[in-house]
Amino acid sequence: DTAVSQTPKYLVTQMGNDKSIKCEQNLGHDTMYWYKQDSKKFLKIMFSYNNKELIINETVPNRFSPKSPDKAHLNLHINSLELGDSAVYFCASSLAGGPNTGELFFGEGSRLTVL
């Protein structure tokens, strides 16, 4: 069983479109994250949710809207896609959050290409 699964794995779309990426974890973790990995492989946190509540919002444009229907799911919706949004988006989860975040478990990533 995949611990953290995200769909789709690949997304190719035109500028201006809206797209969503879904993430589910079956580890029973309390905290989930979205990270963006750019073309230089730099991983940057975007959002963090703990028990469905938004905890971290790292100065991400309003076009990005995360939603956590329950603590096992964290989805990412992106409006009005721009060329610069092209990246690999990783969902992750951890047992706890805060100063003792511990190990992050990552999904396989969703590669978004905006044309």
Partner 1 sequence: TQLLEQSPQFLSIQEGENLTVYCNSSSVFSSLQWYRQEPGEGPVLLVTVVTGGEVKKLKRLTFQFGDARKDSSLHITAAQPGDTGLYLCAGPAGSWGKLQFGAGTQVVVTP
| Chain positions contacting partner 1, by CB under 8 A | 4, 31, 33, 40-45, 48, 50, 55-56, 58, 90, 92, 94, 97-99, 101-104, 106-109
CA-CA distance, 27 to 96, in Å (whole number)? Answer: 12
Looking at the Cβ atoms of 18 and 58, the one nearer to partner 1 is 58
Coil/strand/helix, residue 10? strand
Q: Measuring CA to CA, how many Å separate 44 from each of 21, 26, 47, 109?
A: 17, 24, 10, 13
Q: Least separation, in Å, of the C-beta of 29 and partner 1?
A: 11
Looking at the Cβ atoms of 16 and 98, the one nearer to partner 1 is 98
